[in-house]
Structure 1
Amino acid sequence: MATPPDPQLYRDPWAKREAWRKHPVFSRRAMFAKAFPGFGVAVVAFTTYVIAENMLTKEKKPAH
């Protein structure tokens, strides 16, 4: 039966310096969420405005 290789043999000397890349702050989701700050609030505010305007300013259409 073969013995497993020594873990120190394949140890990456740069792993400690590269660990920041795997931090959750630098994930794709976090980067995308911070790319457009306030976008979600703006979408909700605009949608509310459009719905309120349509409900308050309905004009009666003449019947043909």
Structure 2
Amino acid sequence: MPPPDPQLYRDPWGKREAWRKHPVFSRRQMFARAFPGFGVALVAFTAYVIADNLLTKGKAH
């Protein structure tokens, strides 16, 4: 028995649906773009807290 013709089962909407599988629309990319600047803000806040704790270590509040 010969294999089925690939044109017979070709998806007619394949080209129109191809954008859904593009890496830009992956879950990781969507989550990374959900909170722009969060990484920078987290690093800056951490540096501030560490500096504040080091500079005011011996002083009473």
Decide: shared fold, TM above 0.5: yes
Gaps of 5+ in 2: none
Pairs aligned (count):
60
Matching residue of 1:28: 27
Once residues 39 and 32 of structure 1 are traced to their aligned partners in structure 2, the CA distance between those partners, rounded to angstroms, is 11
Residues 43-58 of structure 1 mapped to structure 2, 5 A cutoff: 43-58=42-57
Deviations 1:2-54 (A, max 9, x none): 42211111100000000110111111111000000000001100000000000
Normalization by structure 1: what TM-score? Answer: 0.85
Higher alpha-carbon Rg: 1
Q: Cα RMSD over matched residues?
A: 1.5
Aligned AA (1:49): Y
**Identity percentage of aligned residues:** 82
Once residues 29 and 2 of structure 2 are traced to their aligned partners in structure 1, the CA distance between those partners, rounded to angstroms, is 42
Normalization by structure 2: what TM-score? Answer: 0.89
Q: What is the Cα deviation at residue 60 of structure 1?
A: 6.1
Gaps of 5+ in 1: none
Once residues 8 and 23 of structure 1 are traced to their aligned partners in structure 2, the CA distance between those partners, rounded to angstroms, is 24
